[in-house]
Amino acid sequence: MTRITMVGAGVMGTALMFPAADNGNDIKLVGTHLDTDIITRLKQDHFHPRLKRPIPANIQPYFHTEIAEAIRGAEIIGLGVNSRGVHWAAEHIGPHLQAGQIILMVTKGLESSDDGELMILPDVIKSRLPASIREQIHYAAIGGPSIAGELAARRHTNVIFTSRNPDILPKLQASFATPYYHIWTSTDIIGIEVCVALKNPYALAVGLAAGIAEAETPPDIAGAKMHNYAAAIFAQGLAETAYLVQKMGGKLETVYSLPGAGDLYVTTQGGRNSRMGRLLGMGKPYSDAVEEMPNETIEGVDASVSIAPAIDAAVAAGKLSGEALPLLRKLMRIVMRNEKVEFDFDSFFSQLPFNAPKRLES
């Protein structure tokens, strides 16, 4: 039996506790300051209002004010906050950590550091912990296609657990793997974390296609969709992900496996990124589109904003090629400068390492 504490009672953090609970582990689920209503309901009848199902009986809910008690003695501490909450989490768990504990990042994202470099979130959380403890903690993360509602329904799910320290991976695998939650392990934490962070902006980009088709005037008489164009954006997203993964020192094979192609595929199948992409594809500026999705965290937008300073600085310094990232850089301008989705489609795709198609002269 492993003692596991999850910080963040949203859908994904909670869903991950289902296989952990099914393995008979001792589970504590701590809500953030934004999860008070969820924890209140869980304490009443163990029903999660956003997952719309009861949670296993051996998951004990805690308010964020009880975080010290919940973390004490935990062997694994999961972080299931949203990407904006990583600094909050570091501040609140830091004083209570003990040497040898494992922090398992469920949260996905990248950040621009103070000196303009891209940072994966396990490194962000480490940098924000007290200096006296940060080197005594082990850091791990999860990548791969995982929809919270499916995992909580115990649907088959395939993921990769990753850490720079291979010695902790067997313990993580044994604590969480079940007949429906299938876990591979890898030490390519850079490649996996870059993939799972970039899936959100690129999934938003795939959603543009639906909006472009919907805004078409007059509509196609036979109801033709935009799947061809959506697939081209999907492929461009993978090409740009591969470029950034390799530039940051990750492995190319990660891009074409569960954390890259797999996670991007599942994220394009619906959800907030897709809905935002559709609104933008219809020609709405971001400032108007965001008004139609009030109080919702759009991870594709957050990721674009958080990495923009580092991407711009690296391009300016010649460390990255702007021509290799046309889709990502266009997305950053759409959400940060309110640009509309109006562009020369050919210039939107680099499809490295292929040459761009040539226009025929009339």
pLDDT digits (tens, 9 = 90+) for 100-116: 999 999 999 999 988 88
What does the buried/exposed string (b/e) look like for 170-200 if buried means 16 or more CB atoms within 10 Å of the residue's CB?
ebbeebbbeebbebbebebbbbbbbbbbbbb
pLDDT for 343 equals 54
Model pLDDT, residue 213: 86
Going from the C-alpha of 361 to that of each of 84, 344, 358, the distances in angstroms are 49, 17, 9
Model confidence over 304-340: pLDDT tens digits? 999 999 999 999 999 999 989 999 999 999 999 998 8
Whether 165 contacts 138, CB under 8 Å: yes
Across the range 56-75, mean pLDDT stands at 97
The answer on pLDDT for 345 being more than 90 is no
Sign of torsion over alpha carbons 207, 208, 209, 210? positive
CB 77 within 8 A of CB 5: yes
Q: Which CATH class is domain 190-348?
A: mainly alpha
Indicate whether 357 pLDDT > 60: no
Q: Where are the domains of the chain?
A: 3-187, 190-348
pLDDT digits (tens, 9 = 90+) for 181-193: 999 999 999 999 9
Distance CA 194, CA 303 (A): 11
pLDDT of res. 116: 81
What's the pLDDT score for residue 354? 61
Instruction: Give the gyration radius of the chain's Cα atoms.
Output: 21
Coil, strand or helix: which one is 361?
A: coil
Taking residue 92's Cβ as centre, other Cβ atoms within 10 Å add up to: 20
Q: At what angle do helices 299-316 and 326-337 cross, to 10 degrees?
A: 120
The per-residue pLDDT for 218 is 82
Q: What is the pLDDT of residue 154?
A: 98
**Cβ pair 276, 268 in contact under 8 A:** no
Q: What is the pLDDT of residues 256-286, one digit of tens each?
A: 999 999 999 999 998 899 999 999 999 999 9
Position 124 scores a pLDDT of: 96
Q: At the fourth CATH level, which superfamily is domain 3-187?
A: NAD(P)-binding Rossmann-like Domain (3.40.50.720)
What gap in Å lies between CA 94 and CA 87, rounded to an integer? 10
- pLDDT value of residue 360: 46
Gap between the Cα atoms of 27 and 45, Å rounded: 17
Tell me what pLDDT residue 347 has: 61
Mean pLDDT of the region 26-37: 97
| pLDDT(348) > 80 | no
Neighbours of 83 (CB within 10 A): 19
Q: Share the mean pLDDT of the chain.
A: 93
Mean pLDDT across 205-228: 86
DSSP structure string for 155-173: --EEEEEEES-GGGHHHHH
Mean pLDDT, range 355-361, rounded to an integer: 51
Percent of the chain with pLDDT over 70: 95
Closest of 262, 292, 263 to residue 277, by C-alpha: 292
At residue 362, the pLDDT reads: 40
Q: Tell me the HSE value of 5 on the side-chain side, using a 13 A CA sphere.
A: 25
Per-residue confidence at 57, pLDDT binned at 50, 70, 90? very high
Phi and psi based region of residue 214 (left: phi greater than 0; alpha: psi -120 to 50; beta: remaining): alpha
Cβ within 8 Å of residue 295, ≥6 positions away:
none
Position 197 pLDDT exceeds 60: yes
Closest CA to 143 of 126, 162, 167: 162
Higher-confidence residue of 221 and 206: namely 206
- In three-state secondary structure terms, 297 is coil
Tens-place pLDDT, residues 126-180 = 999 999 999 999 999 999 999 999 999 999 999 999 999 999 999 999 999 999 9
- Does the predicted TM-score (pTM) go above 0.85? yes
Give me the percent of the chain exceeding a pLDDT of 90.
Answer: 84
Which stretch of DSSP H or E encloses residue 50? Answer: none
Q: pLDDT-based confidence at 81, cuts 50/70/90? A: very high
Burial of 156 (0-12, 13-18, 19+ CB in 10 A): exposed
Q: How confident is the model at residue 223 (pLDDT cuts 50, 70, 90)?
A: confident
Residue that has been written with the tokens 């009443």 in this structure: 44
pLDDT at 356: 53
**What is the Cα 208 distance to its own chain's centre?**
19
Helical segments of the chain, H only:
11-22, 36-45, 67-71, 86-93, 121-128, 148-152, 169-176, 189-214, 227-247, 252-255, 263-267, 272-281, 286-289, 299-316, 326-337
